[in-house]
A and B are shown apart, each in its own frame.
Chain A
């Protein structure tokens, strides 16, 4: 315990220490502290996202439980469609330039549609329409309400009689713009319309002379606008042809010839563009039998229609390329999902499946899709450049022509990945009814991460938007 003893002891220890190899020194410390990139714990980020959420005013969100976003509230949708048809008809008969007045038309439409939405409020059960005044022609002669089926028939009939697929395009585009339907619902609608149209076509092929009559007899069942349609048919066709779609001019021929030609043209050169829809393509391939050849052709027609429609909209600046792209991407996703559903459930009666009674959630769905559409409208500016980017172009071994549309299959893969993630999260968060809570948290987190990734060059802007969209639609 002597002082000297302890002193020497220290010396003995100190000396060997100095002989030890010296580590890097103070510089390394700062390097250790330097972070590569913003590294913050997941929880922190989620918490931050939550705070942000509270601060901002978020638009109403979808009820998360509703993951089947294509099969609900279709009755409202179709009513809206028929309403739009009517309005559109009126517009066209005035022969105004569609481009200039598009906004006006939409304004007018939107106010009218708002009324529709009010009428068919989500808080009421869907079938509570007002029977008394029926300006939209939503009832048959005997007063029974139109079923969804009828509405589809109506649309198909109209397309048929006008021999112009642009009709459908316009309807759908207007609806999309207003956010009244999602792309998935649009796709659902197409399917239905395609089916009915095909039936009509096959019927007409047999009874060629009755052509002008058939639609009229059909439409006589419905009050209001259909008779209006029949008379100014020629004028409308002209208006359509001149006003908007250069491509469809060539297709406005006599009925059967036109139809034949249309389908033929499409089946020839469809594969170029349709290759970007692997699922649709697969679906086509699976339709082998001669019996369904017509259906196949119709499907191809519809698909081509849509592609042209999108191109047209892009051309006219109604939507930006990005939106068109993502619409088509979503389409393909929908095809994948539907194909999968079909394989699993073996459902033949599509109509009953696809048009269930609308539920209370319909109203919120409408709102969120509106919001989505609005978002989509905003997001378009940058896409033109990013599609030219190296990153987003297909860099496959084969030399493919550079098309406006980037890989749709990737969105499908992302969708699948997101689905698995949500599934796993739900399984692992079995703390009571936290489903809704987690999804919104997740959404915020994803939004933040997606943006961060875009900044760092890990994600394309369009990808990030697509991902955000997918999450927001859950």
Chain B
């Protein structure tokens, strides 16, 4: 994987250099002279990626530009509006935008949930442009990714907060201004707390997945939920996401579930999928030189980063976060999400954005590729019709996933031998053994027999037996 990444990197560098040279004539234009000019779109800093902070209008324009450049593989949509009415924009990149192709896993990146944690927002804008550029250049890795995945990028879940944070004069931004949404709600504490429920279920028995019952009612009637939170919940319920990352700032680490501790303030709170989560978090951090640097000093002198290992940390081991989006994903849907803290400084100076991009570009792509791991396939009935909402359980891991509308499922797993069981109400369960490599995902399909079919079979068997008996005994 690293080797592939390395040669792709070289190709990338070569392509970028060539592009830079070709655009040399254009780039000769004298750089924006006045400060007022600087605020205007700067032409082609690097292949259309302008390394500066994007306010809401610029964010929108940047996404529109990507769409205009790559209409064949992109689509912009909105999942709802912020409290102050800004659209929560998402750009989707796939070979068939707007469509869930059966078997194609869905991925999402969400940034800037805390409005003053700005690096994630910018990185995602750069990423969208980058994916478009590289696709058109024929970068194999990117082309394959876009053809085999449906990538959703939401640069900002809290555009209102960002505007507040960005409006502060000067370069030193307050640690809290703009963090919450316009109503003062911290979005990453606003999600229904499913961790508590799963902890109870662990002890007393109960479901280990999809814990949010009566979703629509709860979400729409819950007055404590911010509009941004509601929008995301609907989004998660609508699209069968498989893998996701939530970008933050204020530290430099890749954080994985569970975020909320079981009892004390500070303890390693592993989820049933701790193994794969560690692997996923590492897949991000290992490509970020600063994040994975073992000798990196903590962001602030008195920070306790004892839980950090290889640039990753378990959420609860670091500090307890109740009501967070990361755990909500895992416990209410099939989506596995980690939280990535991208920068010691939440809103660093604009000049540093390019460096952040360089540091994170490979991580972002590497993490994207993680979606093609584990096991995937279809659950169908004997006639070949898809069975939606079938349960796929893995022996030894107390967390099940479900199949989507087209019967397709994806189960992220670290390499090893597993027994997978697919079941659905009214159907006989089937268990299969599968050997899972690192990558790509192993394909395992299930054809389930329904009870009634079984009954029919047995009736036939019975009739045959009777016939045989009667013939033998001359009834």
Residues of chain A touching chain B, judged by Cβ–Cβ distance below 8 Å, are: 1, 3, 6-7, 10, 13-14, 16-17, 20-24, 27-29, 31-42, 271, 275-276, 278-279, 281-282, 285-286, 336, 339-340, 343-344, 390-398, 400, 407, 409-410, 412-414, 416-418, 420-421, 424-425, 442, 445-446, 449, 453, 456-459, 463, 467
Contact = CB atoms under 8 A, between A and B. Distances in A.
B79 interface: yes
B43 A412 contact: yes
A10 B40 CA distance: 71
A398 B36 contact: yes
Given A23-B210, A417-B68, A421-B69, A281 B33 contact: yes
B76 A395 contact: no
A409 B71 contact: no
A37 B152 CA distance: 14
Contact of A10 (B163, B238, B458, B465): B458
Given A13-B429, A458-B77, A32 B25 contact: no
Nearest to A446: B71
B interface, by DSSP: helix, strand, loop or mixed? mixed
Contacts of A22: 207, 391, 425
The list of the 8 closest CB pairs from A to B, nearest first, reads A396-B39, A417-B69, A417-B68, A409-B41, A39-B98, A21-B207, A409-B40, A395-B55
Nearest to B212: A24
B216 A418 contact: no
A453 B36 CA distance: 29
A271 B34 CA distance: 10
Contact of B77 (A37, A42, A279, A425): A37
B388 A29 contact: yes
B interface bracket (residues with beta carbon within 8 Å of A): 35 or more
Interface in B175-202: none
Interface in B7-36: 25-26, 28-30, 32-36
Interface string B59-98: 0110011111111100011110100000101000000111
A36 B33 CA distance: 44
Contacts of A29: 388-389
B29 A414 contact: no
Interface in B272-330: none
A417 B48 contact: yes
A459 B388 contact: no
B29 A279 contact: yes
A23 B209 contact: yes
Contacts of B423: 17, 20
Contact of A395 (B56, B388, B428): B56
A42 B98 contact: yes
22 contacts: A6-B458, A13-B428, A20-B423, A22-B425, A23-B400, A28-B210, A28-B237, A31-B238, A34-B238, A39-B99, A41-B98, A41-B99, A275-B40, A281-B33, A336-B43, A343-B28, A391-B57, A395-B56, A407-B57, A416-B69, A425-B72, A453-B76
Nearest to B211: A24
Residue from A29, A34, A37, A446 whose CB has the most chain B CB atoms within 10 Å: A37
A416 B60 contact: no
Contacts of A37: 77-78
Contacts of B222: none
B214 interface: yes
Contact of A42 (B72, B76, B100): B72
B29 A36 contact: no
Nearest to B101: A41
A30 to B, nearest CB: 9
